[in-house]
């Protein structure tokens, strides 16, 4: 299991479209992936779960991954949340 704190640097934070893209990024991996913020831990592959966090730009989250490709999953999510990887 791996954990990493990541600061959200997406303009507009995690609204509907960016959440959908984050779920797509997380869903590419076999590992279980969770996002933890403000005492809540949700499945990063769940759109409803991610929307419930209502995360904004500048907030920090903890990404937790567990599985064969956990490092790759965390790296991709970090790249997306830091604004370096735009999908779509």
Residue 86: predicted pLDDT: 57
Q: In 44-78, which positions are buried (b, 16+ CB within 10 angstroms) versus exposed (e)?
A: bbbeebbbebebeeebebebbbeeeebeebbebbb
The two beta strands, 60-66 and 32-37, are: antiparallel
Contact (Cβ atoms closer than 8 angstroms) between residue 60 and residue 5 = yes
Of the pLDDT bands very low, low, confident and very high (cuts 50, 70, 90), residue 85 is: low
For residue 43, the surrounding DSSP H or E stretch is: strand 40-43
Task: Provide mean pLDDT across the span 31-58.
Answer: 96
Tell me the domains of the chain and their CATH numbers: 2-81 (3.30.1340.10)
Query: What are the residues whose beta carbons fall under 8 Å from the beta carbon of 86, sequence distance 6 or more?
Result: none
Of the pLDDT bands very low, low, confident and very high (cuts 50, 70, 90), residue 19 is: very high
Residue 58: predicted pLDDT: 95
- Residues β-bridged to residue 66: 32
Contact (Cβ atoms closer than 8 angstroms) between residue 15 and residue 55 = no
């Amino acid at each position: 299991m791996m954990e990493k704190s990541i600061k959200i640097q997406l303009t507009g934070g995690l609204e509907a479209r960016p959440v959908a893209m984050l779920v797509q990024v997380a869903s590419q991996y076999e590992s279980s992936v969770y996002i933890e913020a403000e005492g809540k831990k949700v499945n990063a592959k769940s759109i409803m779960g991610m929307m419930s966090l209502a995360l904004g730009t500048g907030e920090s989250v903890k990404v937790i991954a567990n599985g064969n490709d956990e490092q790759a999953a965390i790296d991709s999510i970090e790249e997306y949340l830091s604004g370096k990887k735009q999908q779509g």
